[in-house]
A and B are shown apart, each in its own frame.
Chain A
Amino acid sequence: MDIKDIIRPENRVYKKSDLLYDTTFNFCPGCGHGTIVRLIAEVVQEMGIEHEVIGISPIGCSVLLYDFFRFDVINASHGRAAAAATALKRVMPDRYIFSYQGDGDIAAIGTSETIHTCNRGENITIFFINNAIYGMTGGQMAPTTLTGMKTSTTPGGRLTQESGFPLHFTEMLASLDGTYYATRQAVHTPAAVRKAKKAIRLSLENQKLERGTSVVEFVSNCNSGWRMEPVASNQWMEEHMFPVFPLGDIKCEGKLIQRS
């Protein structure tokens, strides 16, 4: 049997989204960013909203998002994606607006803009990728860096008395009345990917309800920044990140989920 006999439409089980350019992601091999970007493209395509969506890239590893998606994307200054999203949505209420931000961008420098955007209940979607580190600048401590975790700026491990505690930013956002939906997902296993994809879709569909802001956090790995092999980084993430940042819904339909 020749390979050509196998590559036929009826045998196809997976296809890259048409909304992704045929280009190489700038993410490190093994990093979760690539999967999340792909899922967003797939959801936008499945919803058929590529003509109505405007994405916002942050400053950080995902700054070049606009080179991956085959729909309109702007880049906002560091931490200010929520402000730019607010304006885009206010002048174009019929459009789907999402920001895609890392932990440093959203939970350190962008804290104010993000909190107030959620507090106003802007009908936008915020994708928050939490890998507990500043990836692009070479692995410095992030607001979400775990206690004791070694980074280039916490060489002896994060000391809470020096640098405070890992910030539970999505819980903070969920506590705001303007936040309609908040969930924490991951993309390290096929099951997690399927769940995450559903959350992405729901967070975008919510915009049409005009009930408030949707926040989807992804706990993700940074194998380069964590100085680990990709597989080991995912295992480390399960063992160390998930206990601090447990996966699951935090707020649904405007109601906080009681968690044991």
Chain B
Amino acid sequence: MKGNEALAEAAIRTGVDAFFGYPITPQSEVLEYLLQEDAQKRTGMVVLQTESETASINMVYGAACAGRRAMTSSSSPGISLMSEGISYLAGAELPGVIVNVARGGPGLGTIQPAQSDYFQATKAPGHGDFRQLVLAPASVQEMADFIPLAFDLAFKYRNPVMILSDGVIGQMMEKVYLPEPRPRMTEFPEWATIGKKPGKERKRITSLNLIPLEHEKHNQKLQAKYRQMEAEEIRYEEYLCQDAEYIMVAYGASARIASRAVEMARAKGIRVGLFRPVTLFPFPAPQIEALSLRVKGFLSIEMSAGQMIEDIRLAVGKNQRVEHFGRYGGLVHVPEEILEAFERFYMEPHGH
């Protein structure tokens, strides 16, 4: 199955209540699959092709107000249009899942894969002091697995969760074990606006608070959630890191390619390991910091001009060298050029 299709099928199987999407390459298969598979008939899931990504995210907001599992998917330019809505979800403390099958930018950029939305996803998905959880799948299997995970996290924290994929993972085909079907929810959270219950107070959902002291408190509450995410939700994978002298750090498609470069280096007798952040926020900084105490250097591999490298440098501090390699603007690096870059940085006597 294609990554995009596996993600869509997982959404049906895990009882997602609503999907709102606007066509954009390279993720249009998600919307197509849900409509061609008649998700509405299979589970009662609402699937709607919207007039814009702005409408999509605000429909996610509306369905989330009703306590439903609602999601949208798009690619980079469309995600930019959703920024305001993601910020509203965070401000109003609503759960929602946003999938970004990223492509190269800036602007219309290209329809080819890229990882140049790392800053946007992890640092500034919208205005205001907020964070969203970011999951980075590196396989078709994870495209499927991360749907239920994303919703569990979104509801646990009442916060937007982004699945930050890329055109490679979205478009490639692999074998996949699909999740066991789970029924759609029949009971909804106590905060949901589904009609005032007799004898109970009405519910209101808003991100507005005009009283600064109260709004500061609200922000402090949000910050406490983000600290809890950092304490409880870090996910990562290590490959040959045990005895490694050097660590390549890569997520998503880049991690797949880098794992081959690691094997090629090992074949040459160079002890390199791969560290793959699975959550980009919270970033596995403590784990990378621990590695920095015993290795000689890091190489961040991203299909961007170097964005995640800033988080690695923050984690590593002055302990170790951190270098970046990556093709970008829609190009995908090959293992050979990763190894070449690594050797240039770390194996040559005055390598830089």
Are A91 and B55 interface neighbours, CB within 8 A? Answer: no
Query: Which of under 10, 10 to 19, 20 to 34, or 35 or more describes the interface residues of A?
Result: 20 to 34
In the complex, whether A253 has a CB less than 8 A from a CB of chain B is no
In the complex, whether B63 has a CB less than 8 A from a CB of chain A is yes
In the complex, whether B205 has a CB less than 8 A from a CB of chain A is yes
Please list the residues of chain A having a beta carbon within 8 angstroms of any beta carbon in chain B. Answer: 50-54, 56-57, 63-64, 66-67, 69-77, 80, 83-88, 90-92, 95, 112-113, 116
Contact with A along B47-80 (1 / 0, CB 8 A): 0101110111011111101101010000000000
Are B195 and A52 interface neighbours, CB within 8 A? Answer: yes
Cβ-defined partner of A112 (8 Å) among B48, B55, B63 = B55
Cβ-defined partner of A77 (8 Å) among B56, B58, B70 = B58
Are A91 and B18 interface neighbours, CB within 8 A? Answer: yes
Cβ-defined partner of A73 (8 Å) among B18, B20, B66, B204 = B204
A53 to B202, CA, bound (A): 11
Are B59 and A67 interface neighbours, CB within 8 A? Answer: no
Known pairs A80-B58, A90-B48; list 7 more (Cβ under 8 Å). A51-B198, A71-B195, A72-B194, A74-B205, A84-B61, A91-B70, A112-B55
In the complex, whether B287 has a CB less than 8 A from a CB of chain A is no
With a CB–CB cut-off of 8 A, which chain A residues contact B223?
Answer: none
A76 to B208, CA, bound (A): 10
Closest 3 interchain pairs by CB?
A87-B62, A84-B62, A80-B58
Cβ-defined partner of B88 (8 Å) among A67, A71, A77 = A77
Chain A residue nearest to B40 in the complex (CB) = A90
Contact with A along B182-207 (1 / 0, CB 8 A): 00000000000111111000111111
With a CB–CB cut-off of 8 A, which chain B residues contact A50?
Answer: 196
Contact with A along B134-163 (1 / 0, CB 8 A): 000000000000000000000000000000
Query: Which of under 10, 10 to 19, 20 to 34, or 35 or more describes the interface residues of B?
Result: 35 or more
Are B51 and A87 interface neighbours, CB within 8 A? Answer: no
Chain A residue nearest to B89 in the complex (CB) = A77
Are B62 and A76 interface neighbours, CB within 8 A? Answer: yes
Shortest distance from the beta carbon of A172 to any chain B beta carbon, whole Å: 15
Shortest distance from the beta carbon of B195 to any chain A beta carbon, whole Å: 5
* Contact A72/B203 with A90-B18, A91-B46 known, Cβ cut-off 8 Å: yes
* Contact A113/B194 with A73-B204, A77-B85 known, Cβ cut-off 8 Å: no
Are B196 and A74 interface neighbours, CB within 8 A? Answer: no
With a CB–CB cut-off of 8 A, which chain A residues contact B206?
Answer: 57, 66, 74-75
* Contact A83/B55 with A72-B194, A74-B65 known, Cβ cut-off 8 Å: yes
Are A74 and B55 interface neighbours, CB within 8 A? Answer: no
Shortest distance from the beta carbon of B211 to any chain A beta carbon, whole Å: 12
Q: List 11 A-B contacts (CB under 8 A).
A: A54-B65, A70-B196, A74-B205, A74-B206, A83-B61, A87-B62, A87-B70, A88-B65, A90-B48, A91-B68, A95-B195
